[in-house]
């Protein structure tokens, strides 16, 4: 039996990463262009976190995204 509580917490963390990215995109709308590289670097890190969380979700659920 899979640990669905663990998977649920991982999914919550994944959603949190997506929410954080939304705020960074909003910052890009109001920050000067010269600051955009900093925000893009932060966004890249956030995307990396999401990918790693997805790997853990697959590891503990055994469910992979459909390929179609």
Whether the pLDDT of residue 1 is over 60: the answer is: no
**Position 64 in a domain:** no
Tokens of 10: 């991982």
**Position 65 in a domain:** no
Band (31; pLDDT cuts 50, 70, 90): very high
pLDDT at position 68: 79
Chain centroid, CA 47 distance in Å: 5
**Position 29 in a domain:** yes
Answer yes or no: are the C-beta atoms of 60 and 2 closer than 8 Å: yes
pLDDT tens for 33-62 read 999 999 999 999 999 999 999 999 999 999
Tokens of 62: 């055994």
What is the count of structural domains for the chain?
1
Distance separating alpha carbons of residues 37 and 8, to the nearest angstrom: 33
DSSP single-letter state for residue 31:
S
Average of pLDDT values for 62-68?
Answer: 87
């Amino acid at each position: 039996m899979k640990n669905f509580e663990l998977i649920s917490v991982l999914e919550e963390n994944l959603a949190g990463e997506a929410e954080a990215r939304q705020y960074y995109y909003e910052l890009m709308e109001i920050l000067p262009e010269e600051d955009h590289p900093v925000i893009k670097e932060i966004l890249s890190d956030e995307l990396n976190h999401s990918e790693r969380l997805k790997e853990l979700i697959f590891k503990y659920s055994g469910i992979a995204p459909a390929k179609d």
